[in-house]
Amino acid sequence: MNKPHQFHQAIDWNLDQYGKLWAYNLNYFDFLNQENILLTEGFLLIKDYIKNDDSLRDGKEAYPISLRGINWIKFLAKNDINDSDVNQILYTDYQILLNNIEYHLLGNHLLENGFSLFFGAYYFKDEKLYQQASKILKEELKAQLLNDGAHFELSPMYHQILLKRLLDCIKLATLNSWKSDGLVDFFKGRAVEMLSWLEAITLKNGDVPMVNDATFGIAPTSEQLFKYAKNIGLTWEERYLKDSGYRIFKTGVYELFIDVGQVGPDYQPGHAHSDTFNFELYVGGKPIIVDTGTSTYEKNQIRQKERATASHNTVKIGQYEQTQVWGGFRVAKRARITYLKESLNQVIATHDGYSNIGVLHTRKFQSKEKCISIFDELSKTPQEDCIAFFHFHPNVNTFEVLEDSILVNEQIKIRFKGNILSIDEEFYQYALGFNKTKKAMKIKVNFKTKLETNIEL
């Protein structure tokens, strides 16, 4: 979480001064997975936690129970520990989870409940836990994976996290012959789809686009996941991006990732941002134009700003949002894709996020070997200012704004055509992880009705 704290005497497992997510992470016990952790140290931490069981707050919620259960079982099994006190608390926690499955939140929370129940079932050889795990995972892995293999919350970070859980379940069941009901084969089929999608959106340098709720330093890397999958015998094929709404153009010079998809999922868009027609550009394997990312889950002004239209590489009209994001994890009116047409080197789409002021926004991306063209057109001229945003990575160190263009790193020229009113530069905070940002530059192009952007590489 990039917010260190030292416990000098006793560990306060309920410490909440750094926010809910920090407190959750303290209770996940992910630290048991550190490569160099000592057996005695890890076991003492578990024992200390058990000692404080009666006073725990966040740690007794369903989501922390789910993640902690997996981490404890991995640690206990790896070190061949069979402790009755630990097992008793662990089993009690799984009974709490059974009675508090997160159907009210759905999405990745419900999948995490299912994955953990699967681990608990194998650890205790418990039929009730297994049946509930099987039911959740069969239903949710069908419902939450789109036809192109993407997890429906459209966060590459959560996709990586959930794929890792699925691979763990495959390995667990493969190493333990307790059940043979075909569930593992189902898991493998779903995992292959997720691997294909992840490979399609993974960039040359190993990054994934930090779109929607996603940030660095949380999920396993794509490279780690591909290696893990191969080690457990999985193979997959190239897959075209479709239902997720993400597209990517890759040439010998650049990689262009674009979003022409719907805000989703419809019934739980808590990790969605107002980012229709957003894009990221990598040149020579290095990030140039980027999503601003996510640095907090706290319900504050920073989170509101990071989810807003102006924090993405798209067009904002006046004070209107394409999609109304609010309350930390809420979405009201949302932009819908009303038209989509694509060919080998071109994508054109229209969204209705500004229909409340009678305006449709159409954006066309054209990809050539050393040039990218982006055409923005509004269905009518609004009374409010129209601004196209371009956020640059902090490592972009040379920046020159000219009359109708900008020069980036002395070699990338971005030319603007159309009825341009002004080109302004500002600083913004780029997310390097949770609670960790770095100042970077963004460009705001104020225009009327039409704008053509040509990125010459």
- Which residue is listed with tokens 């459209």? 154
- Cross-strand bridge partners of residue 442: 391, 426
Its CATH architecture, for the domain 249-456, is Distorted Sandwich (2.70)
Enter the tokens of residue 224: 């780690």
Alpha-carbon torsion (384, 385, 391, 394), positive or negative: negative
Enter the tokens of residue 134: 């099987």
Residue 69: CB atoms within 10 Å = 25
Instruction: Order the strands of the 246-250 sheet from edge to edge.
Output: 246-250, 254-259, 279-283, 286-289
Q: What is the pLDDT along the chain (457 residues), one digit of tens a residue?
A: 999 999 998 999 999 999 999 999 999 999 999 989 999 999 999 999 999 999 999 999 999 999 999 999 999 999 999 999 999 999 999 999 999 999 999 999 999 999 999 999 999 999 999 999 999 999 999 999 999 999 999 999 999 999 999 999 999 999 999 998 999 999 999 999 999 999 999 999 999 999 999 999 999 999 999 999 999 999 999 999 999 999 999 999 999 999 999 999 988 899 999 999 999 999 999 999 999 999 999 999 999 999 999 999 999 999 999 999 999 999 999 999 999 999 999 999 999 999 999 999 999 999 999 999 999 999 999 999 999 999 999 999 888 988 899 999 989 999 999 999 999 999 999 999 999 999 999 999 999 999 999 999 9
Measured between alpha carbons, how far is 346 from 343 in angstroms, rounded to an integer? Answer: 5
Q: What are the residue ranges spanned by the domains of the chain?
A: 20-231, 249-456
Phi, psi of 283 (to 5 degrees): -120, 125
Among the four given CATH numbers 1.20.120.140, 1.50.10.100, 3.40.50.300, 3.20.20.240, the one describing domain 20-231: 1.50.10.100
